[in-house]
Each structure stands twice: as C-alpha cells, then as structure tokens.
Structure 1
Amino acid sequence: MSGSQDLWSGRVLDGRYQIDSELARGGMATVYRAQDLRLDRPVALKVMRADLARDETFVRRFVHEARAAARLQHPHIVSVYDQGEDDGCVYLAMELVEGQTLRDVIRTRAPLSTRQALDLLLPVTEALAAAHAAGMVHRDVKPENVLLGTPHPRTDPIVKVADFGLARMEGVASVTTEMLWATAAYLAPEQIDGQTSDPRTDVYAVALLLFELVTGRKAFPGEDPVRVAYEHVHGGVPHARELAPTVPRAVEQLILRAGAVEPDDRPQDATELLHDLRTLRLELSDTDLDALPGGDETIPVQVDGDRTQVVPVGTPHQHTRHSGSTGHTGHTDHSSQSGATATRALPVRDGIPGRASSPAAPGGYARTTGNRSPARRPAPPAPRPARRRGIGGWIIGLLLLALLAGGGYGFWYLTEGPAVHSEMPPVAGLTQVEAREALDRKELDAFFTPVYSEDVPADTVISADYEPGAVLRHGTDVTMELSQGPERYAVPRLDGVTPGDAVDLLRDNQLSLGEQHTEHHETIPAGQIIRSDPEVGAQVPPGTAVQVWVSDGLAPVGLPNVVGSTEAQATGELSRLGLTVEIDPQRVSDEEVPEGSVVSQDPTPGEVEAGSTVRLVISDGPELVEIPQVVGRQFSAVEQELTDLGLVVTRDDVRGGFFGSVRSQSIEPGEMVPRGTEIVLEVV
C-alpha cells in the first residue's frame, strides 16, 4: 500500500464509511474499498481529488450527476448508494463489484470470438438502453467503466456499467489533459467537435468496444490524445476484417454503422443497437460466432509495452517499447508500397510476423492492402454526407498545433468545440417543463434544486444562477431553484408510543414535542400517548410543537362494602365495576354472618384502580357443636359440660327432681347445633 493509502486506511467518512484499501486511482478521484458501518456491507467509495473538491462548480455538477445516476436501477448498472461531503472530502458510495474490468479481459484474452464479445457487450448495451430510456447519456463508455463480477468471461460474469452520469464532469475547464487520456480513444466525433451529446454518442463507444474485443486492439491507437481525437473526426472506424479476417462480415458492417462519423448514420439509441446485436447473434451460424483469428490460437493481445511500430520503408527500424501504446499483429501481406511515403508495420515481439501496409493513416494506424481478393474486402459503409472541411479543417489543424506546442487548453478547446454562445432566457415563473424547454432551445443544460416557498406555487421556477440575457457557452449548466410549495410536514402517528420515542419521530419530520397532558384511558397503558394536536397526518410548518395527551392508566373506581352480601351478590357487583374478584378458599365461621355470605373484603371500601383485585372471605356460619348423650347422668355433672359447649341448658324437674338424674334431653345425641342453642333436660 502506498503512503497515500496509509493515510486514508482506517479513516471513517461522515461517521459511516470506514476506508479499507485502495482499489483504483484516476484523474478525478480515487476509489477505495470501504465498509458501510451503518448497514454493515462493503461499498466502493469514490473520493474526489482535493483540488477538485474545492471547486464549487465541479462539486455542484458532481452532486447533480450523482443524484441522476442514483435514480438508475438496473441489474447491469452499478448502483449509487449515497453521496456526501466530510470536512471538504467529497465522496460517492457505490455498489462494490468484486472482479475485474473489461480492460483486463481485453489485455489478457482479446481478440475474442464474436460469441464471447456479444456475451460481454449485450449486458452493457442493455444498461445503456435503460439509461437512454430514462433520459440519461453515459458519455464515457470505455473498458475501464465496464466491471465484471467474475474473473473470467467464460464463467458467465456479472457485467455492470459504472460511472453513469459522471463522465460529463471530465469536460469542465478545471480538468487536466491527463484526465482525458483514458477517454480519448472512445470519444465520439460530436464530443470532439463540441456538439451536444446524445444516446448516439454511447452507441459510437459501444461500436469501438466491439471492434476492440474482436480484433484485440483499439480502433484509434496512439500515444497523443490530440492525434487520437483527430482520427475520430477525420479517419473513421477501421475495417475489423483487415485486422481479424475471421470476424463475420455482418459484425464488421454493424461496427461501421454504429461507429459512423455522422450521428444520423448510427442506430439512434442503445435500444435500437440492442435489437441489432440480438438479431445479429440469431442470424450468425455457430461457426461464425465461435471463429477466432488464427484458427484455434488467439492473436497475442496488445498490452502496455508491446505495440506495432509504423516506420517509413527504407528507414532503419528497431523494436521500441512505449508505455500505454496499443497496436495489432496479423497475417503477412505479400505486397508492399513503393515510394518514400510507403510504410511497413513491424511487430515488437520476436517470432510474430509483421505485415506490409498501405500509407499510414494519421495516428500510426496502417491499412492493409496488396493481393487480397476483392471478394474478401468488406463492403464500404453506406454513403454519408460529407463532414465540414475547408476553413473548419484549417482551424482544427491550427488548434492541434497550438495544443501540441502548449498543452491542456488547446485540447480542452478541441474537445469542447467552437465557442458557441447563447443568451440566458428568463425562466422565473415558468414550470419545470417550460424552463427545461426554454434552456434546450438555447442549448443549455438544465438542473433543478428543489426549495420550499410560501409564496411561489409548486413546480414553478423561483430563480436561476444566471440572470436573463447573460451570455453563456452552449452546454453550460444552469441551476434553477424549483418551488416545492410551502414547506410542510405530516404529523406522524404517535398514539401508543412513549413521549421519549415521540421526540425522535417528530424530529425526523422536522417537528418538536410540545406540552404533555395526562388523562386516564381504558385501553392505552399508562405512560403511552393517547392522541396529539395537531392530529395525525396534519400538514404543518417545520418546527411546529405538537401537543400530546399521555395515558395515566385506567380511571379509579369506588369499591363498595360487600360484607354481609351473599357470595353471588358480591361477585356480580364487583365485576360490573371492572374489578377482579378472588374468593378465599378457606371459609370461616361467624356467629353473625350467615353461611355463604361475605365475612370480610380486601381492600376495604374506598377508591381503587380499575381492574384491581378484591379478595373476599365467605362465612361458614356460626360454629357448630355436637350434642353429647346425657340421659341417665346426674344433672349436676352434665350441666357444666353442656355450658362449656356453648349451649344454653334448661332444667325441667319431674316429681320434684328428687333423685337429680336426667331422664330425657330435647336434642338427640350426635346432632350438630350452633353454639347458643337451648337444650332442655328432664330431671327426676
């Protein structure tokens, strides 16, 4: 890991994204592998260069494009999760795709068969078709922006297109020439001429990808991005079969049509191109789909450091290495061109035959000529209107010379096109659609920032960052404040939650907790909110204090005195009051309370909480005693015994009761009677 990586490793951005390691580094940003601590998932974190992050115009465009890209949802498009800024560090959180890029495949395996190339390009085209349907143009389709989720194209990789909507940012004045180096080989002519990019711009780039996959080299190789840009405008896409004769003629024709210099000659968007690619795949035979240049062996891939050098005939030549160049190898051509302007293609690698070629096209790309049969030559593309030449060509030539002499500004001017300007139209008071149409007529790019307004109706432009009449370059971004109407927030549902939870819910809706009142409630437990004012769903301004009523539990009830009532009477009365009745299983004797009636209750009569439990003790009546056998016994002996049992003893003397012996008793022996019962004894 480099020193810069050490500085970033372990850093947490925005309190959420913990950087792990560096994945890639480009002119605008560095991409890191990071962990989303909030959602516990790995992400790819794209961190803008510090100097670009200080450019307010750049950051504003970055935010707009990131938002637009986040709206694209497609299985072959890298998802944009989040965008933010932390202490001047502008970042973009994206889906992490583990694997390699299409550039890796081209370096290690190209040229591919037509089937293999279509397997990789069809998902790319599907992604672009979805973007075009959503009104978005990628503008920077290149192998580095095509990610493969598996390490080998023959294992059904998960193909995803990255950096949707962000490529256009590389055209701003603050971006250096080095940032455009990787893009120059795939720029469409209209991008270089400063014309408006549209879906046909992406179609052109896909044609170049297909060319590179089936031939193993770029359509416009070269070390100088200015020279490469010139080739896009004036050279035209080469014929793929000249480099790889096994490429089906129909594939070559599709590349030439999709890569036409004039946008009108191409498929009009990726949806049309996708239909053409699918039709092509169905119409080609298996032999054509699986054919590889050189039979069973693949032509060596052109990688950094290995290239074909084009030198004049008769000039001493030697193998040369240049980092970052591209080239091709192929079959030997048995003819050569005479004269001082002829060139010869000499391969760098020993043992790989070179090929004589016709005079080199600008940029060092040699077209093969010679003894090739006319029947084998690819059919020329359909005639197209001549592009601007004459004075325009001289201007471009002068610009090229200026750029070669002095650098970045000339290349920016070339890729942005002539300085065409328009006056800023008045847009305040227009609807979003009307404002966009007004800017489109002036060839200006419209962006909208939603803002709330108490005075301006919703979907109406409030203001723009340029005054009406301001002279602006074509393609300038114009940001307008678009009214969303009054700022209102819905009062969330608070019933059943505690006041503490209500604070968080209200804060999420830009509201606050107001006064709290308490009242009893039959169903909502104590401590939970019963209702709010304003009520649920009411639209209120931000910061509104919402009053709540909190449950104090069930209202208290008066507990009556049920002592002396029968068990059934007491239970019914208490139940009607919402109280729970509990009967003591152990009855007690009571001299005053009849059997089956309530002897005591707990709690005692008074005010209790609703739903409280009342415990009742039931009387078993007075205590009973067993009558003993006293007949034949002396009255003096049994009187005390019966009195001790709680009975009332009455003596009835017969014949004067001279002998004092009990002759009879009024209650039969063994009978159970309450205490206090009178028993009469006859004494003789």
Structure 2
Amino acid sequence: MDTTLNDPPPGSAWGDPHLGTLLDGRYRVEERIAVGGMATVYRGTDTRLDRVLALKVMHPSLAGDSGFSDRFIREAKAVARLSHPNVVNVFDQGADGSAVFLAMEYVPGWTLRDLLRDRGALSARAALDVLEPVLAALGAAHRAGLVHRDVKPENVLITDGGLVKVADFGLVRLLSGADTAITDATTPGVIMGTVSYLAPEQIQPSAATDQRVDVYAAGIMLYELLTGSKPYSGDNPMQVIYRHLHEDVPPPSLAVPGLAPELDAIVAAATARDPQHRPWDAVELLAALQRVRRVLTPAQLDAEPPASSRQAPQFSPAEATSVLAAPAVERTSVFTGPPPELITRPRPYHEPPRPPRTPRRQRNPRSRRGLIWGSVLAVVALLVAGISYLLSGAVYATVPSVLGQSQAQAVSILDGAGLRGSFSQAFSETVPPGQVISSDPGVGRRARKSDPVKVTVSKGPQRIAVPDVTGKPLDQAQQQLTAAQLTPGTTTQQYSPSVPQGSVISTDPAAGQQLPVNAPIALVVSKGAAPVAVPDTTGLAVSDAQSKLSGAGFKVALATDQTYSDTVPAGSVAAQDVTGTATPGSTVTLTLSKGPQPAPVPSVTGMSQSDATDALTAAGFKVKSSGLNFFGLSSVSGQTPAPGTMLPKGSTVTINF
C-alpha cells in the first residue's frame, strides 16, 4: 500500500500561492507538476540563464521544522556530490521568505509509475532495461557513500528519449564510518518512506540500516515490473509493514507463469529479509542482473506476461545467491529447483479460481468470415512487426551497463551485446582507478552496432601539488595557484623580519602537498618586520646619535637644515623625525642645533643699574657691572657690546658706571 500523495492535475492552481511568483529574484514558478509528502514540484524558468528547470518547494508546514529543513538541504548537498547520467541534477538550493526550495534538472517525460499504470507487467527484457540504469545510479550513490532510502517507481523518471533517471534524494543518508552502517534518526514511532518498498530493518527502530535498503527496494521494484503489482497489499499500512517483517517476497513466476527461475532467484536475493543475504550494494546487484540477462534466452527475455498463474520454485537466500553467482558462461536454461531438504516451507499462495465458462453461442457464417480475415490481418501484422524487429536487432543493440567494471570486463560485456567500445580516461573522485565511470550512449539506450560506445575509465582522483609561492607578492602567488587549478583562499597578515611586506610567508596546506582540483589554499602575507622602539638621541653629539640608532636597526640621515636651540649646544642633535616605534630598517632623520638664536642687545645707557639689568635680562642676556655705583644713584654711562649688536641669547653684556 503506497502512502504517498496523489499527483494533482498538471497546471491546477488549487489556490497555490507560489504559482506565478519569482523565487530568490531568479526562478519563475510556472506550473505545478506533483505534490509529495515533503514538497511540491513545479516547472519553472531560471530567468538568469533562460533555462527550464524543476523547482521543489518544501511544504510551509515543514519549512519551520529544522529537522525537515536540514533533510531537505541535505538532499541538495548529497546529489551535488553525484555526477551521473542517470541521476537528476540539482543546480541550486535557497530560501525565499518561508519558501525553502531546490532548483533541479527538468526531466520531460513520465515516471515509472505512469509506465506501470499504462502497460502493467513488462517483459523480462523491458524490466531489466529499466532497472539496470536505476541500479547504475544507485551504485554511483552507494560508492559515493550515500543511501537513497526512498527507491520506488514514483522516483524513477523516463525521458522522452528513453533515458532513465533517479530523482528525489529527500531521505538520503550518509554512510557513517568504516562499518558503512547508518541508523535512522527519525522521530520514534514514525516511519519515513513508502511502506510498499521499506526493508524490514527500516521498520524496526533499533535496527541499523545501510545501502542494502536500496537493494531491497530495487528487488520490490523488479517484482512489480515483472508482475504489474506489488508483492504485498493490505487494508492499511500496518498490514503491509507486518508482511515485510514476517513474510518472504513470493517468486514473481507465481503471478506470471513462464518467468525464468533465475529472475525468481534474483528477486529472492534482493528482497531477503536478512540484509546479510542480499547483494552488498546496487553495483553488486547490477552485476548479478547482467549475469542473469546473459543466461536468459531471447524467448525468455521477450515473452509477454500471461494472465494465468502456477506454482513456482522457491529459493532460500543462500540458494538465490548461489544462482546469481553462477558463471555467465555456464548458462542454464532450465532450473529444477533446490534439493528437497533445502526447500523452504511452502508459502500459502494458491491458484486463484478460474471464472466459469460462458456457453458458446452459435456463430453465423458472416461473423466467422470476419474472424478469419481478422486473424489473417493479425498474422500479417505480427510478421511485419517481427521482421522489423529482427532487422532492427541486426542494426541496433541495447547498451548494457558497464559501470564499475574494468576495461577488459567492459570489452567482454559490450561484445556480448554485439557492441564495441571506444575507451578514454578521466579523473574521478568516487570511482576507483581502472573502473568504468560512464558510457555514451547511456545504459539502456539503443546504439548502432557499427558505432563504438564511448566508455570513460577512471584514472582515479586527480591530485595537484601545491606550488611554492613563498616570498612572492600576493597577486603573483594567487595567479600561480589559479594556473595550477587550485583556489586562492583566505588571506591573513603576519609580521616577518625576513619576508618583504606584501609577499607570501607560507601557505596552508604547505607547498608540495597533493590536493584535489580547486582545493582552497590559505595564504599568510607579510606585514614586514614588527615595530620596535626608536631611541631618543636629542642632545647627543652626532656620532653618538648615529651609533645608538644603528645599533637598534635603523638607518640614519642628517637634515640639510639646522635649527636654533636654547637648550642644545650647536652641533648636537636638536630633533629627530621618528619617535615612539618604527619598523627596523626604516630611516631616522636628525636635525642638528645651531645653538641659541641671536638677538639685538638693547640700549641701557642712562638707566639705573636695576632698570638696565631688567631690560637686558628680559632680552635674554646675562648682565655684568663695571665701575663704582655709590648708593645705586649712578646711571649707566656705557655698555659692551654696543647697543644693536647681535648676540646669542644667554651671552653676557657688561654695563659701565
């Protein structure tokens, strides 16, 4: 029983507030496509790049929940790590008010659910053609350390050109640590996902889950593709959950007689209730699926599903695994089933009662002739279709998946499909060296047998040695890092006595370390030497001042002009232009003293001794008396030097009586 919401009619407004709006000033919301449990998907346009895309907007009731918002944003970050032709790309993630959204690749076409509704059960070949690219996408996710956790037909998109893409990583989880196990952190008692495709360990709150939950869901999907219906049904979700926990998935040949036992075996292995009995990840299941395809005859692959049912052999998980692991060269067209002592307890499935026969009516000759002509035309149409198919098969072949295979294995697989490969190499952060990254045309696409399939083989992760940019000016260092396919990162400044100001002292990571392309490199740039105290040389002789400044690491220069100083003797340092602290190596300029500034000697002749002394002292001179001045009544009769003479202040003027 599927608990996801039904899709609304395309373009139906339903009072939707987002239709016609512009998200983040860039993405125009044009048409509603579908509504899910966490978000609504719209068709929109990136007005900046003029590109049609899909906009996935979280429901407002969940946007305020940090847990759901984090899970929503985790989808964007998780899918951004994947680069695979069978994964729907995520271009951007943002928020506009209360609207939290993802901007994703728009995939015109239909979902796998639409295909199942339209056609019902598929032939084995068609089912494998659909499931192989799904497993290729999941395999890329698993090898990148991601688990989808919500694999179902609604999340498998098929383009108009037949390309299969996996979407909706909304419940994605990162694999944690060396044991690659993850534990759900959802609310106790709440099951995230669609119950029809949940693995038993997803339902049990205390059970650890890993990438094998996707393998289980893929096995359920394979059952549904082969039979046209889900293996479990019930009146409510709890009944379906109970059957997941306590019943094995029935063989698909029980519902569709004539299916090969190998298909029963692969469904049994993928849907084993104990995850230890399932393939380790989607890559391993894909390899097993390809082995099964190679042992099936064209008649088994192309047989249309009949409407009746019969009893089918059943496989234990160990027996199913042994069937899947059989070498492809040892093709077994008939499987007799396991020995009686290994057969598991028969399951309570019974053949449905056949409808009662309607009494045959007497036909008239005219209707009989019409029936004959109709049969003839039908036979002719079948012959034409068969010849067209055979001719098409002579020219075209379906591209098998070679994801994760070595070049030699890829050559063998393509040769088995009647195709040849043209191999090239590329760097990959997720695919080990020597294994296939992708093919062009992609998995499941039809290719001309005369044209080579372009296969890209991994060279492993590209690593670049950090260049040595120490001692270089900042702009030159940044240019050199960019040229080396690295990204100049944050810049900090630091004093250095040896590296010139504005040049690089060091990088983090250091020079020579091997890093991925575009890895950020932090730069430490010199501010020059740290400032130190400048000695005060005022009043010192020139030689002493020069010696003191040089010893502190400064250069010394003498000013061309000198200055008068009442306190510093002529020829000594009257002033310096740098005080406090300065960078070692900088220049300190000294100004020398010319001594006190000269001033004119005032005339004091005829003054009393006291008045003359006051006048000369006020002019900056010292006073000396000569002669006799009885009782201070005599006046100054003369002075030396004469009035008007220019003397340095502080000089002595002699007054005579």
Normalising to structure 2: TM-score of the pair? 0.45
Larger radius of gyration: 1
